[in-house]
């Protein structure tokens, strides 16, 4: 997998590393698995079922105060995908404010 490079987003006050740390911790907490077992490459399908994924996306929305449309969330396969999405939506959210 190529190294992840986040698109430069103007106005985002949350760093990539901060999002990653929070997301990985949320996944570990919600699914009750050791933090060490969750990585950016972990796939939602293998971590749990579709209900787990839905619940996790809700938890991400709460944690980062963003709103991710269901159609967009549906394309998320890995934790990394989710981090990228969250990163994209944070500035959009801030722009609204």
Partner 1 sequence: MNRSPRTITLRRVVVTGMGALTDLALTAPKTWEAMKEGANGVDTITAFSMPSDWPVRFAGQLKDWDPAPLIDFKEQKRMDRFAMMAIAASDEAVRDCGFDFGTGDPYRHGVMIGSGVGGILSTEESHGKLLQGGVRRVSPFTVPRLMVNAGAGQVSIRFNLRGPNAATATACASSGHAIGAAYHAIQRGDADLILAGGSEAAVGQLCIGTFAAMKALSTRNDEPKLASRPFDKDRDGFVLAEGAAVLVLEDLEHANARGARIYAEVVGYGVCGDAYHIAAPDEQGSGAFMAMKFALRDAQLNTTDVDYINAHGTSTPLGDAAEVASVKRLFGDHAYKLCMSSTKSMTGHGLGAAGGIESIASIMAVVEGVAPPTINLDHPDEGFDLNFAAKTAQERPTRIALNNTFGFGGHNVSLCFARFEG
Determine which residue in the list 51, 71, 96, 97 makes contact with partner 1, applying CB under 8 A.
51
C-beta closer to partner 1: residue 9 or 54: 54
User: Rounded to whole angstroms, how far apart are CA atoms 7 and 59?
Assistant: 23
Stretch binding partner 1 (CB under 8 A), from 12-20, 38-46, 48-56, 84-92: 48-56
Measured from the Cβ of residue 28, the count of other Cβ atoms closer than 10 Å reads 16
- Give the count of alpha carbons within 13 A of 62, CB side only: 7
Determine which residue in the list 9, 14, 22, 31 makes contact with partner 1, applying CB under 8 A.
31
Determine which residue in the list 67, 72, 74, 92 makes contact with partner 1, applying CB under 8 A.
67
User: Rounded to whole angstroms, how far apart are CA atoms 57 and 55?
Assistant: 5
Catalytic residue among 45, 49, 65, 70: 49
């Amino acid at each position: 997998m190529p190294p992840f490079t986040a698109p430069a987003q103007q106005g985002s006050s949350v760093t990539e590393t901060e999002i990653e740390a929070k997301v990985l911790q949320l996944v570990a907490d919600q699914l009750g698995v050791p933090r060490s077992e969750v990585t950016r490459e972990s796939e939602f399908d293998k971590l749990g079922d579709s209900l787990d994924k839905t619940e996790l996306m809700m938890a991400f929305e709460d944690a980062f105060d963003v709103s991710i449309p269901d159609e967009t969330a549906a394309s998320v396969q890995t934790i990394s995908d989710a981090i990228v999405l969250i990163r994209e939506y944070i500035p959009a959210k801030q722009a609204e404010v």
